[in-house]
Copies of this chain bind each other. A is one copy, B any other.
Amino acid sequence: MALLGIDIGGTKLAAAVFTEEGNILSKEIISLGGREGAAAGSLITSTVSRLLRADVSSGNRVESIGISVPGIYRIKEGTVWAPNIPGWDNYPLLKEVTEVSGGVPVIVDSDRACYILGEMWKGNARGCTNAIFMAVGTGIGAGIVADGRILRGAHDIAGAIGWLALTRPFRDEYIGCGCFEHHASGEGIAKTAREYLENESEYAGELRNKPVEEITSYDIFVAYHNADPLAIRVIKQSIEYWGMAVANLISLFNPEKIILGGGVFGPAVSLIPDITKEAARWAQPISRGQVTIEASALGGDAGVYGAGYLAREKYQSRS
């Protein structure tokens, strides 16, 4: 038997066939090619149909299908809101895939949920029943497993940690994205640096080599490793925010693991000891002694592993 995991991103999808133990038998990456709405849905259903047929012929029959979606999954309705796929405001993905699956069960969840499930299955949160994946990329979100179950909330949008209030007073810049995300997402790091560059005419370091509006978080990490003083200030402030957010997750959830992932971790992985130290100042002291903070083991594959894990759970709950 085999499991099919599909990780839908904003521009491409990854599809992997797993053994029940989580070994990958095959994996492919397929570009969405700018498809929107039902065209994106068709690409997914045709991929599922093809892989179901392929695995019958190879003898590894797919018995369950898990899908990770880049946004919110409304579990009661079976529909998806995905901001980066136009037309997916309320998309009936579960129904569409179920119609082509020939009776093979299908389960869908958000990418954030899949990241932490992937790490619990095959990454750095193995054996945990309380674990959190903090994904820091363009935006910030968290997949939270509490007492063995994905935290959903009343309307499936629990874990919106980009909105954490971490510093006073309120600023209008927080309106569109939240305080934590404004200061400490990939985009937030770049914004902070741009602000400093505009206000500090005496600075003449390497971040002046580019037009200020083209500065990215990547440039700032490079400058940081070159000991650029402005980059150091920006990154130190980010460490403070990441540490405070991690501390708040520790105090609220008393988890065993917090996994740091997303595009920024990446280059920020070397900062995890500093983030851990900052978190330790703020967090509930007993809980902080019971948690470890680690980088994602699976990186860009966390979502597809999580989708495979969903498929496995669905399969096991049927038998």
Q: Which residues of A contact B (CB under 8 A)?
A: 128-130, 142, 144, 146-147, 149, 151-170, 174, 178-179, 240, 244-245, 247-248, 251-256, 281-284, 286-287, 290-291
Known A167-B167, A282-B174; judge A153-B147 contact (CB<8 A). yes
What is the chain B residue whose CB lies nearest that of A129?
B154
Q: Which residues of B contact A247 (CB under 8 A)?
A: 163, 165
What is the chain B residue whose CB lies nearest that of A179?
B282
Q: How many copies does the complex hold?
A: 2
Q: Which residues of B contact A130 (CB under 8 A)?
A: 153-154
What is the chain B residue whose CB lies nearest that of A158?
B254
Q: Which residues of B contact A178 (CB under 8 A)?
A: 251, 282, 284
Candidates B153, B169, B286; contact of A146 at CB < 8 Å = B153
Q: How far is the CA of A248 from the CA of B168 in the complex (A)?
A: 14
Q: Which residues of B contact A283 (CB under 8 A)?
A: 163
Q: How far is the CA of A240 from the CA of B170 in the complex (A)?
A: 9
Q: Which residues of B contact A161 (CB under 8 A)?
A: 251-252
Q: Which residues of B contact A248 (CB under 8 A)?
A: 163-165, 248
Candidates B159, B170, B174, B253; contact of A158 at CB < 8 Å = B253
Whether the pair B168, A167 counts as a contact (CB closer than 8 A) is yes
Q: How far is the CA of A305 from the CA of B174 in the complex (A)?
A: 40
Candidates B142, B155, B282, B291; contact of A165 at CB < 8 Å = B282
Whether the pair A154, B255 counts as a contact (CB closer than 8 A) is yes
Whether the pair A286, B157 counts as a contact (CB closer than 8 A) is yes
Candidates B162, B179, B253; contact of A153 at CB < 8 Å = B253
Q: Which residues of B contact A256 (CB under 8 A)?
A: 154
Known A160-B254, A163-B283; judge A240-B168 contact (CB<8 A). yes
Q: How far is the CA of A142 from the CA of B146 in the complex (A)?
A: 16
Known A146-B146, A287-B157; judge A253-B165 contact (CB<8 A). no
Q: How far is the CA of A255 from the CA of B156 in the complex (A)?
A: 10
Q: Which residues of B contact A163 (CB under 8 A)?
A: 247-248, 251, 282-284
A251 to B: closest C-beta gap in Å: 4
When A and B form their complex, which 4 residue pairs have the shortest distance between CB atoms, in order from nearest? A153-B254, A163-B251, A165-B244, A160-B284
Q: Which residues of B contact A284 (CB under 8 A)?
A: 157, 160, 162-163, 178
> Can you spell out 5 A-B residue pairs with CB atoms less than 8 angstroms apart?
A146-B153, A147-B149, A155-B254, A159-B252, A160-B251
A234 to B: closest C-beta gap in Å: 15
What is the chain B residue whose CB lies nearest that of A183?
B168
Q: Which residues of B contact A253 (CB under 8 A)?
A: 151, 153, 158
Q: Which residues of B contact A290 (CB under 8 A)?
A: 154-155
Whether the pair A240, B169 counts as a contact (CB closer than 8 A) is yes
Name the residue among A159, A240, A281, A291 with the largest chain B CB count within 10 angstroms: A281
